[in-house]
A and B are shown apart, each in its own frame.
Chain A
Amino acid sequence: MQTAVAISVDGLGFAAWLFLSSVGLTLIYGVMRILNIAHGGFYALGAYSSAWAIGLFVNSGGAVVYSFLLIPLAALLAGAIAGLLVERGILRYMYGRDEVLMVLVTYAIFLILEDATKLIWGTESYVAWQPAFHFGTINVMDIPYTVYKFIIMAVALAVGAALFLVLNKTRVGKLLLVVIEDREISGALGINVTLFFTVTFVVGAILGALGGAISAPEISVLPGIGAEIIVLSFAVIVIGGMGSIGGAMLGALIVGFARALSVHLYPPAELFSIYLVMAAVLAVKPYGLFALAESRKI
């Protein structure tokens, strides 16, 4: 019983973190048809800037409560700056190219971001645990969990709900759906497609940075976390169906629980259980659970 509870809470915890880290990826793919490997770079930038800012703030005597504000702030700044630079500086010259080629372009950007991160913050690891333990722990069936874990879950739910509302209930969201449906026609109707692309990419980048920033207090931030998260996020959005926000949520839950199950029942399987699940889902539903059918073009 205790194991079952541990699996559920850990699974939800993993899922929340995975959802926050991958929702930006699926958003960018859904709107722009770009599978953005550089997303891992945004995640790392967010993680580094938040860990760095928290460390600086707490060590100079700031109250830990206020360091919670630094997390979204760091994500916002890191994501917005990096996202704008990447989209305005590189990607806009590449629009309309082959989807596979865009993967390679974003891979190149990922490599550049990795080294940019190293140049800014060096290669040593950053630890900013203070916010994670500030509110203490809650016991669930005698297993202590940090309150912070539940805060992440709440944030994930809030982000998911906010995206859903913006996409489905606002004018901007309706316009965005039009842009997704047909770029050229929406351009002809007077919608500023370029602006939509830029904003979407920056929002996606900020979400990626938020995933990193919010998980920074729970992990030690070191080089290579971007490369790690990107394969996990791929698994999440492929399982759910690329471009679908609901799919990302479902994918995060599936991957999160797969990981929690293997961590508690058979630890050596932790690393590959995720991809095994992904391969199994794709063998049945080749384009993910929530993917829309696409017609073959002659």
Chain B
Amino acid sequence: MNIKMDRTETGLLLALPLLILIAFVLPKWVVNYVQVSLGTGLVALGVMIQMRAGLVSFGQGLYFCVGGYAAGMLAKFLGISDLFLLLAAGILAALIVAGIAGFLLRRYREIFFAMLTLAISMILFGLLSSTEELGSTDGFNLPSATYLGWAPEGETGRLTLYTFTALVVVVCAILLNRFLKSPVGYINEAIRENEVRVEYLGTSAHHAVHITYVLAAVVSSIGGVLWALALGHVDPEMTNWTTSGQFVFISILSGTGNIAAPLIGTFLLEILRVYAVEISPNTWQMILGSVMLLTILYLPKGLWSLLTTRKSTKPSDDSADKISVGD
């Protein structure tokens, strides 16, 4: 693998110390929102890398939930609260579920992919909602995380978890950036443009989609583990399709131009939500929907395109109705 870093990766690495620093500077509630949105941001990243292949997953909440519940069940039934083991459990669970579901899903594109991912996530929703042992629709609580036997408490515990969350998210983002620049990453963009030609060129589109799907699942599940630990709670709402819809919303709003875009978009949305819900709780979704429509109409490549359009010299291309964009 090429060690040389591109600008995005340098930026992410530079942002890491800053991200950790704000935990010590900013008020606690802001830091909490940053931490929560780092978790959900990873899920949005999972949606985004699939969008690069033209696939819209309306059920990414499935892996968000799989991660959260895998960690939660390990803690609940085996009493394990080690962050690294919980993360490993989340990753393993996502690998298994996505590995199997991928065999079915990789055959589908476009709206069929969207609806099938939705249906699979709703299977889990139904299962968890009717499982008494796991608290049905209420879910259950998670203990605070420990780190290789070290169990910080109170303020130290909060800051440690935050630091690890930031670290894991940045590492994931860098790895995913590498993925987008890997052969499979480029094949994905070709699949979005024209899948049949990809196959004529001698590459298996199914294979690439499967890999992407599993990778997106793993990232989302890591997000789920971190989110569950940050909130100390999991419930089936995590895999409800309305939750997944919000991840799609974030990817549309922020655009697929850069790996950092969904992370920033998630945070902005989280802050926006706090204020909107406070001011008028019953119009929050209306604002969300209107912003989404305006984005689709006027900024088909998302907010990120505002940052990059000035630099590009070529006129806007005609693929405006495609959801995703290369850089």
Q: Do A and B come from one complex?
A: yes
Tell me the smallest distance from the CB of B287 to a CB of chain A, in Å: 8
Cα A274 to Cα B323 in complex, Å, equals 31
CB atoms of A279 and B241 under 8 A apart: no
Cα A80 to Cα B131 in complex, Å, equals 41
Cα A286 to Cα B286 in complex, Å, equals 35
Classify chain A: how many residues form its interface, as a range: 35 or more
Cα A272 to Cα B194 in complex, Å, equals 35
Quick one: closest A residue to B322, CB to CB?
A: A98
Q: Which parts of B96-142 form the interface with A (CB within 8 Å)?
A: 104, 107-108, 110-112, 114-116, 118-120, 122-127, 129-131
CB atoms of B56 and A104 under 8 A apart: yes
A112, A119, A269, A278: which contacts B289 (Cβ < 8 A)? A112
CB atoms of A278 and B119 under 8 A apart: yes
B321 at the interface (CB under 8 A from A): yes
Tell me the smallest distance from the CB of A97 to a CB of chain B, in Å: 4
Asked whether A111 and B125 contact (CB < 8 A) given A101-B296, A278-B119, the answer is no
Cα A248 to Cα B54 in complex, Å, equals 28
CB atoms of A98 and B245 under 8 A apart: no
A297 at the interface (CB under 8 A from B): yes
B194, B241, B249, B321: which contacts A101 (Cβ < 8 A)? B321
CB atoms of B115 and A272 under 8 A apart: no
Quick one: closest B residue to A34, CB to CB?
A: B111
Tell me the smallest distance from the CB of B175 to a CB of chain A, in Å: 27
Q: Which parts of B271-327 form the interface with A (CB within 8 Å)?
A: 282-286, 288-290, 292-293, 296-297, 321-323
Asked whether A114 and B115 contact (CB < 8 A) given A99-B110, A270-B130, A275-B122, the answer is no
CB atoms of B115 and A286 under 8 A apart: no
Asked whether A104 and B292 contact (CB < 8 A) given A279-B104, A286-B107, the answer is yes
Interface locus among A5-13, A62-70, A198-206, A231-239? A231-239
B230 at the interface (CB under 8 A from A): no
A222 at the interface (CB under 8 A from B): no
Quick one: closest A residue to B246, CB to CB?
A: A111
CB atoms of A119 and B111 under 8 A apart: no
CB atoms of A35 and B111 under 8 A apart: yes
Tell me the smallest distance from the CB of A174 to a CB of chain B, in Å: 27
CB atoms of A105 and B107 under 8 A apart: no
A116 at the interface (CB under 8 A from B): yes
CB atoms of B123 and A276 under 8 A apart: yes
CB atoms of A109 and B130 under 8 A apart: no
Asked whether A109 and B119 contact (CB < 8 A) given A100-B54, A100-B110, A115-B285, the answer is no
CB atoms of B123 and A111 under 8 A apart: no
A107 at the interface (CB under 8 A from B): yes
Cα A227 to Cα B293 in complex, Å, equals 19
Cα A271 to Cα B240 in complex, Å, equals 12
CB atoms of A123 and B282 under 8 A apart: yes
Tell me the smallest distance from the CB of A262 to a CB of chain B, in Å: 10
CB atoms of B296 and A111 under 8 A apart: no
Cα A273 to Cα B252 in complex, Å, equals 32
Instruction: Classify the secondary structure of A's interface with B.
Output: helix
Instruction: Classify the secondary structure of B's interface with A.
Output: helix
Asked whether A275 and B126 contact (CB < 8 A) given A114-B285, A231-B118, the answer is yes
Interface residue count for B (Cβ, 8 Å)? 49
CB atoms of A111 and B126 under 8 A apart: no
Quick one: closest B residue to A238, CB to CB?
A: B115
CB atoms of B130 and A268 under 8 A apart: yes
CB atoms of A279 and B120 under 8 A apart: yes
CB atoms of A297 and B196 under 8 A apart: yes
Cα A271 to Cα B196 in complex, Å, equals 37
A195 at the interface (CB under 8 A from B): no
CB atoms of B285 and A101 under 8 A apart: no
Cα A116 to Cα B284 in complex, Å, equals 11
A296 at the interface (CB under 8 A from B): yes
Quick one: closest B residue to A273, CB to CB?
A: B126
B204 at the interface (CB under 8 A from A): no
Cα A108 to Cα B54 in complex, Å, equals 19
B94 at the interface (CB under 8 A from A): no
Tell me the smallest distance from the CB of B304 to a CB of chain A, in Å: 17
Tell me the smallest distance from the CB of A23 to a CB of chain B, in Å: 17
Most B-side CB within 10 Å, residue of A110, A227, A282: A282
Asked whether A110 and B115 contact (CB < 8 A) given A104-B296, A231-B122, the answer is no
Q: Which parts of A76-115 form the interface with B (CB within 8 Å)?
A: 90, 93-94, 96-101, 103-105, 107-112, 114-115
Binding site for B on A (CB under 8 A): 35, 90, 93-94, 96-101, 103-105, 107-112, 114-116, 118-119, 123, 227, 231, 234-235, 238, 267-276, 278-279, 282-283, 286-287, 296-298
Q: List 7 A-B contacts (CB under 8 A).
A: A35-B114, A97-B321, A105-B293, A227-B241, A231-B118, A268-B131, A287-B112
Binding site for A on B (CB under 8 A): 54, 56, 58, 104, 107-108, 110-112, 114-116, 118-120, 122-127, 129-131, 194, 196-197, 240-242, 245, 248-249, 252, 282-286, 288-290, 292-293, 296-297, 321-323
For the complex of A and B, the 9 pairs showing the least CB-CB separation, nearest first, are A271-B126, A272-B126, A111-B289, A115-B286, A112-B289, A108-B292, A268-B130, A108-B289, A111-B285
